[in-house]
Structure 1
């Protein structure tokens, strides 16, 4: 977890003085695509919701502001979600 203390959590403000993970929360690392390297807080997601992945809002995906980017669990790795593509 020490290495995660230097990364930013998806959804934190760009000027947040402490954009890293919080103790007692569960995170997955986003791999590939426009949100590569960010952590996503999955604490409140059920196992079923975690298995489905998520469409996350981003301004830096293929569809610009208001677009979404899809991430889902990496096969055999419960700590990473892989980029699956962008959507309007």
Structure 2
């Protein structure tokens, strides 16, 4: 977790007093696409959800507000989730 401590967490508000990762939480690093470099909090997710990845809401993807960016675990390093494209 120490390598993540200065990173920004997905869905943290821009005016959040501490948008960084919190101790005791589990994160995945988003790689590529509109959310590149952010961390997503997966605390409490079950194994199936972690294997599937996620469709994360974003306003800066191909479909603008309301669109989602698809991210899934990297085979060689499942802590990193690679961008797989955007959906409306």
3-state SS, counterpart of residue 77 of structure 1: coil
CA displacement, residues 64-85 of structure 1 (integer Å, 9 cap, x when unaligned): 0000000000112121000000
TM-score, normalising length: structure 2: 0.95
Partner Cα separation in structure 2 for residue 79 and residue 3 of structure 1: 12
> Which residue matches 1:8?
8
> In the aligned structure 2, how far is the partner of 1:14 from the partner of 1:55?
21
**What is the TM-score of this pair, normalised by structure 1?**
0.95
User: How far off its partner does 1:4 sit?
Assistant: 1.4
Q: Over aligned residue pairs, what C-alpha RMSD do you find?
A: 0.9
Runs of 4+ in 1 over 2 A off after TM superposition: none
Deviation, 1:3, is 3.2
Who is 2:81 aligned against? 81
- Tell me the equivalent position of 2:55: 55
d(CA) in 1 for partners of 2:28 and 2:60? 20
Q: CA offsets, 1:23-73, max 9 Å, x none?
A: 011000000000000000111210111000000000000000000000000
Question: As a proportion of its length, which structure holds more strand?
Answer: 1
Q: How many residues align?
A: 88
